[in-house]
Amino acid sequence: MNIALDAMGGDHAPEAIVAGAVEAARIYGVTVSLVGIPEVIEAELKKHDAKGLNLPIVPASQVIEMDEKPAAAVRAKPDSSMVVGCKLVKRNEADAFVSAGNTGGALAAGILHIGRIKGILRPALIGPFPTLKGACMILDIGANADVRPEHIQQFAIMGSIYAREVIGVERPTVRILSNGEEAGKGNQLVIDSFKLLEQTPSINFEGNIESKEIPTGLADVVVTDGFTGNIFVKTAETTARLMSQVITEEIKKSPWAMLGALLARNSLRRVRERMDDSHYGGAVLLGLSSVVIVAHGRSNAFAVRHAIRVAKQSVEQDILAKIQRGIAALHSEPAPAAVESSPTG
């Protein structure tokens, strides 16, 4: 197994990226192809004991920065680590591509240089949201701002397969994000998608979900358009960060409160761990004909390692072939009973 890794992308690149690659190569026994500027990568590798590990360097002279316009940057920088990484998997020289760089750039490079699975109308970005029971997988969280009900239906199928094969949920429940729980609540897209999801036998659709029910673990998979999903994810992140900031500010005003925070430090560490989703390995761009993982820009070595683990697991479980079969079944088998009894949808 060979995972291509964008060594240049992310807030903590190249240090954290190379460190994560070393951990992953050691722990999971995979080859990690480090794509980027060779001298930079070599200098980082020297900091680690990487003897016996498979960490080849694949040269790429350009870097797509975090604040560049995605589509334009992908076209303007054909020798960037992102484009070179995507081309590696396209040519079957690597099994999957992982980047913690510019999300839009990874999307654009993946769509342009790897292409879609046959039958997939729109690839979607799927990501985890922490719940009291573990995590809920949400898609689309940002690949498609405008979608139609048939796209949402494909998101539901892809999300169910991912939750089952990678997260390990036996019979994942699917709900659609709405502004009310009852059937009939929602905007026109939700109302139309609801009807289509009800008629999709290969998924376990249970209706609408409000954002307030997501943290309770009511659904294993939540589908939505990429505009709403992106706002949901960013709003949750922002609120958590705002609250942490306000708590820190207020505690710093009082020596007693600072002593209190010291006494509670182990509890506060566990809070951070529970709110943290980095062991889920970031977001996955589902629907491309290769596995592409878009780790969070602020990924540390731990998050990069887990992104590589998710890539490995996605390849081993052959989720792309399963998605292709799931989509093909949707169009070829109109009788619900026949589809439901087929193996892994």
Name the burial class of residue 21, with classes exposed (0-12), middle (13-18) and buried (19+) by CB atoms within 10 angstroms of its CB.
buried
The distance of closest approach from Cβ of residue 139 to a second copy in the complex, given in angstroms and rounded to an integer, is 14
Total interface residues for a second copy by CB under 8 A: 54
Strand runs (DSSP E) across the chain, as ranges?
A: 2-6, 31-36, 57-59, 96-99, 124-131, 134-139, 173-177, 204-209, 221-223, 283-286, 291-294
Say if residue 14 is preceded by a cis peptide, omega within 30 of 0. yes
CA gap 44, 14 in Å, rounded: 7
Residue number, 118 or 253, with CB nearest to a second copy: 253
Of 187-206, binders to a second copy (CB under 8 A) are 187-188, 190
The distance of closest approach from Cβ of residue 238 to a second copy in the complex, given in angstroms and rounded to an integer, is 4
263 binds a second copy (CB under 8 A): yes
Residue number, 246 or 321, with CB nearest to a second copy: 246
CA gap 265, 24 in Å, rounded: 30
- Longest pairwise C-alpha distance within the chain: 68
225 binds a second copy (CB under 8 A): yes
Residue number, 50 or 261, with CB nearest to a second copy: 261
Residue type, 44: E
Give the residue among 93, 68, 92, 73 at the shortest CA–CA distance from 83. Answer: 73
Span near a second copy by CB under 8 A; candidates 30-38, 113-121, 140-148, 284-292: 140-148
The distance of closest approach from Cβ of residue 210 to a second copy in the complex, given in angstroms and rounded to an integer, is 6
Q: Which of 72, 112, 243, 338 binds a second copy (CB under 8 A)?
A: 243
72 binds a second copy (CB under 8 A): no
Residue number, 140 or 165, with CB nearest to a second copy: 140
Which strands make up the sheet holding 221-223, listed edge to edge? 57-59, 31-36, 2-6, 96-99, 291-294, 283-286, 124-131, 134-139, 221-223, 173-177, 204-209
Of 265-294, binders to a second copy (CB under 8 A) are 266-268, 270-271, 274-275
261 binds a second copy (CB under 8 A): yes
Torsion angle of the four alpha carbons 298, 304, 309, 310, in this order, in degrees rounded to the nearest 10: 30
75 binds a second copy (CB under 8 A): no
Residue number, 206 or 210, with CB nearest to a second copy: 210
What residues make contact with a second copy under the rule CB under 8 A?
69, 142, 145-146, 177, 179, 182, 186-188, 190, 210-212, 214-215, 225-228, 230-232, 234-243, 246-247, 250-251, 253-254, 256-257, 259-264, 266-268, 270-271, 274-275
